[in-house]
Amino acid sequence: MMDSGVPLCHTCGEQVGFDANGQVFVACHECNFPICKACFDFEISEGRRVCLRCGIPYQGKRTDHSDSEVSGNRSTMATQLSNSQDIGLHARHVSTVSTVDSDLVDESGNPIWKNRVESWKEKDKKRKKKKASPKTENEQPPIPQEQEMEEFLCRPSDAAEPLSVVIPIPKSRLSPYRTVVILRLIILGLFFHYRVTHPVDSAYGLWMTSIICEIWFAFSWVLDQFPKWSPINRDTFIDRLSARYEREGEPSQLAAVDFFVSTVDPLKEPPLITANTVLSILAVDYPVDKVSCYVSDDGAAMLTFESLVETADFARKWVPFCKKYAIEPRAPEFYFSQKIDYLKDKVQPSFVKERRAMKRDYEEFKVRINALVAKAQKTPDEGWTMQDGTPWPGNNSRDHPGMIQVFLGSSGALDIEGNILPRLVYVSREKRPGYQHHKKAGAENALVRVSAVLTNAPFILNLDCDHYVNNSKAVREAMCFLMDPQVGQDLCYVQFPQRFDGIDRSDRYANRNTVFFDVNMKGLDGIQGPVYVGTGCVFNRQALYGYSPPSMPNLPRSSSSCCCFPSKKPAKDSSEVYKDAKREALDAAIFNLREIDNYDEYERSMLISQMSFEKTFGLSSVFIESTLMENGGVPDSVNPSTLIKEAIHVISCGYEEKTEWGKEIGWIYGSVTEDILTGFKMQCRGWRSIYCMPLRPAFKGSAPINLSDRLAQVLRWALGSVEIFLSRHCPLWYGFAGGRLKWLQRMAYINTIVYPFTSLPLIAYCSLPAICLLTGKFIIPTLSNLASALFLGLFLSIIATSVLEMRWSGVSIEEIWRNEQFWVIGGVSAHLFAVFQGFLKMLAGIDTNFTVTAKAADDGEFGELYLVKWTTLLIPPTTLIVVNLVGVVAGFSDALNGGYESWGPLIGKVFFAFWVIFHLYPFLKGLMGRQNRTPTIVVLWSVLLASVFSLVWVKINPFVSRADSSSISQTCISIDC
């Protein structure tokens, strides 16, 4: 039981304890920040001798931590990361998905492993007493505490200052925005009160349809608007990061980072683009021994392997050139294609000569890559053969063994100037028939395990193969958050915005997604953090392992994985208390495991087995031990010669069976948008995320800029959202028991999974103008003064909300309008198909694919923009355009026949129809292409559907003057035939 009056340590959650005088231990006498002696010693050993709360240096405390210092240099690949990775593991939090077996206690009720640990401790103490030896002549005497304090106080003050700062939106911009949002909500309430209490009896069906659609639109607006209630900006201080962790004359203390690059089909994802991404990673402005790049080839293509061979060879020239002249960006294709003055800020006389030589080398590199691509267009009948004459193991992409090749980073792989290079590792996981491989999410999880075995960096940065590093200091930007003791403690990832190259200036199809990345994500950053968007994200590896944040106790298994609401039990029963006690004791066993030097392999394997880590992480003792190392690094006990063999083992196709991979740890399975699902699971455990927007974009990628490819991309995203909605991880009911996901954050996640369903009311609402024009009816009764004021107030509030969003976010009115247009275009096409395809796939098991076939494109700038491709996604928007145009023509014709009184009601209907046409105008331009030609099949389908609507109109309301049917019948009777 906890002694009363003894505070808990802010870092590890244990009691602070007492000092030698029997008083409560106090590290900082200025602010009395609660920190235990063990955490205090760890901070001192890491060189951080300032209070975590007030920033004042510790004084009057002994910092003798010679027992925790690590001597000697590690030369093998398995141990060349951090030398202090095993210190401070008493703060370890056990995975919420790990289980404790009930047979781990002896007859007296004490845990068996606890007795074993105690015996190991006794043996360890005896051995240390016997091996006490005198100091060697070469050993340096310890530095006096006073001298250490003087040296620390003489260091730059930047080392003690925060690495980042929150810049709130000025109240002069945010307060009016919030006021307008509240006013708009009130106006919406009054508007719906009027709409519901004033039905249109002559068109009751149309009126009811419009009411349902408008209520759904209002609900969607609330889900989208209120998570943006507290937007913030952030700024980082890279110079302070260097002052704290890169002191002159000392080894760099920056944390290591493992880069993940994923690719599948080199014929669809050009190897040259992947090579540029890899080269930009290898040349990043970060210590080379802290960078490792893992390329996942999920298609097991020999073309990808051979292109990486060429890339590794070219990197020996490219990396030193980039670092010597500090060029940006460090992807050669995009650097040499810049239309800027490349001599700006370059003062070295040799730069022009070396740049010309490097450009020539890159052109030769491109020729070699293109030759490989041309050779790979036709696969030989006998399959591909490697240079040594052996068959390529991946000739069958669905049935092949796991493959790993380390190109750079090993002994002897130096650049042309004799300096070491970052690691470059090729990975292709094993695939066999009958196993579920889970596409990209499965490939990412394989990279997590491989990197943990080979390098085990504490942070992971994943990129798509077409997203290169545009800002060489991007990793340092992320470290300003992740390595800050105050900010990074509960941080699961740092998300960067996506920026794109090659998009037309007008951004016809809203490819840049500026409204989402510059408005919505800033708003989420002020709550619990932005959502994970699949690329350009730096992860805390411990968060991927399913652990809870260090500042929070672990959730019970039922709380983290149950899809129901929290239990109403007022207190825990005795069995739950006993389970918590066992979990805490299990934590202690893991911490003590690091302090024991003389246990054998059998005892260690028994302990790990009893902790049931295999049920969570799989049957790899090397990987399991790496998960216990918060600060990264490969365990010292591992034999470096066996690392590759172990890495092959963890990417076998059956490794994840009967484990928690894809369920509670790693990238989560169950949706093609695994990014949203993975970030959602982390934040449900209580983790926070941060949005980082440096002035120079961190990463840049390519986006599909023609209409068909853009709709196919949106279809895939929407389908993933529908899959999450129909899964157990739906934010509508998942994760309530823990109470760690904030309500505004939950609203944002709900919005990400329900937005495809807006397609149903949207397509109905876009059809209403044509129906009203064809039938002569309308969804709104004759307006009174009050109703006119409500409609005017609603329109003005919509405009004011957009204008004020532009003020605090910095987006332009054109970007907001393009986003609004494509919301309609995607809603009536891709989102609609995603809803039906999702229900067919999840409920009936039918997987329907809407394929896209390409046709010839024009050469020149933005030639791809004018590609015309056939896809069924084009039919619904085209039909809506044709139907509304037919309705406008019919409405004007009807008004001409009806006389002067018919023009008044026509104005509202025509305005409604033109609202639809203007929103679909970019779609119409894309449909016409550059030559203003439309695929014949699209025209035929659209004309057919429009004709059906026209015939219905003729049947309901023929284009003749209205007359009473009784008078017509009397006239017919009087006629003598």
Q: How far apart are CA 327 and CA 968, in angstroms?
A: 86
Q: Would you state the pLDDT for residue 755?
A: 93
**What stretches of 545-698 show up as alpha helix (H) in DSSP?**
557-561, 574-593, 601-610, 614-617, 621-627, 643-650, 674-684
Contact status, residue 65 vs residue 46, Cβ threshold 8 Å: no
Cα–chain center distance at 104: 39
Q: Would you state the pLDDT for residue 923?
A: 83
CATH of domain 1-68: 3.30.40.10
Contact status, residue 668 vs residue 729, Cβ threshold 8 Å: yes
Q: Read off the tokens for 810.
A: 């910095």
Q: Where are the beta strands (DSSP E) in 198-269?
A: 232-236, 257-263
Contact status, residue 111 vs residue 104, Cβ threshold 8 Å: yes
Q: Would you state the pLDDT for residue 93?
A: 31
Q: How far apart are CA 657 and CA 674, in angstroms?
A: 19
Contact status, residue 828 vs residue 880, Cβ threshold 8 Å: yes
**Residue 657 three-state SS:** coil
Q: Would you state the pLDDT for residue 618?
A: 82
Q: Which residues contact 160 (CB under 8 A, 6 or more apart)?
A: 50, 55, 57
* Tally of CB atoms within 10 A around 974: 7
Contact status, residue 740 vs residue 915, Cβ threshold 8 Å: no
Q: Would you state the pLDDT for residue 252?
A: 87
Q: Would you state the pLDDT for residue 144?
A: 46
Q: Which residues contact 566 (CB under 8 A, 6 or more apart)?
A: 559, 736, 737, 738, 739
Q: Would you state the pLDDT for residue 247?
A: 85
Residues annotated as catalytic (active site), given as ranges: 298, 675
**Residue where the block lists tokens 């141990």:** 79
CATH class given for the domain over 239-244+256-503+524-549+661-703: alpha beta
Q: Would you state the pLDDT for residue 977?
A: 40
Q: How far apart are CA 264 and CA 303, in angstroms?
A: 11
Contact status, residue 48 vs residue 40, Cβ threshold 8 Å: no
Q: Would you state the pLDDT for residue 581?
A: 40
Q: How do residues 177-197 score in pLDDT, each as one tens digit?
A: 999 999 999 999 999 999 898
Contact status, residue 50 vs residue 42, Cβ threshold 8 Å: no
Q: Which residues are annotated as a binding site for Mn(2+)?
A: 440, 464
Q: Which residues contact 324 (CB under 8 A, 6 or more apart)?
A: 354
Q: How far apart are CA 300 and CA 302, in angstroms?
A: 7
Contact status, residue 138 vs residue 71, Cβ threshold 8 Å: no
Residues of the chain short of pLDDT 50, as ranges, are 1-4, 60-121, 123-156, 557-599, 610, 850-859, 932, 958-965, 967-968, 971-972, 974-975, 977
Q: Would you state the pLDDT for residue 597?
A: 47
Q: What residue spans define the domains of the chain? A: 1-68, 191-228+736-956, 239-244+256-503+524-549+661-703
Q: Would you state the pLDDT for residue 478?
A: 94
| β-sheet bridge partners, residue 50 | 57
**Residue where the block lists tokens 């089909």:** 265
Cα–chain center distance at 473: 20
Strands 257-263 and 499-501: unpaired
Q: How far apart are CA 62 and CA 527, in angstroms?
A: 40
Q: Would you state the pLDDT for residue 391?
A: 87
Q: How far apart are CA 478 and CA 792, in angstroms?
A: 46
| β-sheet bridge partners, residue 258 | 292, 460
Q: Which residues are annotated as a binding site?
A: 262, 268-269, 298, 439-440, 464
Q: Which residues are annotated as a binding site for UDP-alpha-D-glucose?
A: 262, 268-269, 298, 439
Contact status, residue 704 vs residue 867, Cβ threshold 8 Å: no
Q: Would you state the pLDDT for residue 461?
A: 95
**Angle (nearest 5°) at CA 955 between 951 and 957:** 110
Q: First and final CA of the chain: distance in angstroms?
A: 109
Q: Would you state the pLDDT for residue 611?
A: 57
Strands 499-501 and 164-168: unpaired
Q: How far apart are CA 323 and CA 302, in angstroms?
A: 31
